[in-house]
Amino acid sequence: MYGTERTAPRGQGRCSVTASPTAPADILLLNGPNLGTLGRRQPEIYGSTTLAQVEEAVARRLRPHGFGLRAEQHDCEGELIRALDRHRDTAAAIVNPGALMIAGWSLRDALADYPAPWAEVHISNVWAREEFRHNSVVSPLAVGVIAGFGVHGYELAADALVHRLRRGAAGATG
């Protein structure tokens, strides 16, 4: 299973999917509060796919490109910050901050310090939902934002980051 390593049950704050030792580079998949309950929580908004299934889909998407996956989910902002610090050696990151997009200022600072490109993902189109969700403190720092495509947005983010890394355009757009 793609070199998976679990440190605790999924959705309980400490899970990790690590790349095989031969992988040339890893991409971090970081999920914030409540995302450990994917598949059970508000399926009318977030669907029935579990976080484990999302992680497997992203790992499968990255594998042909030579990238491994490290995945963590935490309900606590401080744990997300520690995860970013632990994984500073990754080539890129896919980040779903959940509701921390609204007021996660400490997470924002940690993302500003993360040395690799990262994409922000939201399962639902947060700008089509309640007005309080329309402002993000982290989006301006991301190389791109993908929202509203369901859990497929994670795979879209993986594709976009692989494309960016392959063409070596650290600051380029397009």
Q: Residue 65 carries which DSSP code? A: G
User: If we measure between CA atoms, which residue out of 154, 29, 120, 14 comes closest to residue 75?
Assistant: 14
Task: Measure Cα distances from 166 to 23, 52, 77, 80, 159 in Å.
Answer: 15, 27, 31, 27, 10
Q: How many residues can be counted in the chain? A: 174
The pair of three-digit structure tokens given for residue 147, joined into one six-digit string: 């929202």
CB 121 within 8 A of CB 154: yes
Alpha helices (runs of H) in the chain, residue ranges in sequence order: 43-46, 51-62, 77-86, 100-103, 105-113, 152-167
Residue 91 C-alpha from the chain's centroid? 13
3-class SS at 97?
Answer: coil
Query: Does 81 show up as a binding residue in the annotation?
Result: no
135 is in an annotated binding site: no
Q: Is 124 annotated as a binding residue?
A: yes
Is 108 within any annotated ligand binding site?
Answer: no
Say if residue 56 is exposed, middle or buried (CB neighbours under 10 Å; 0-12, 13-18, 19+): middle
Residue 109 annotated as binding? yes
- Residues with catalytic roles: 46, 122
Sequence ranges of the binding site for substrate: 96, 109, 123-124, 133
Annotated binding site: 96, 109, 123-124, 133
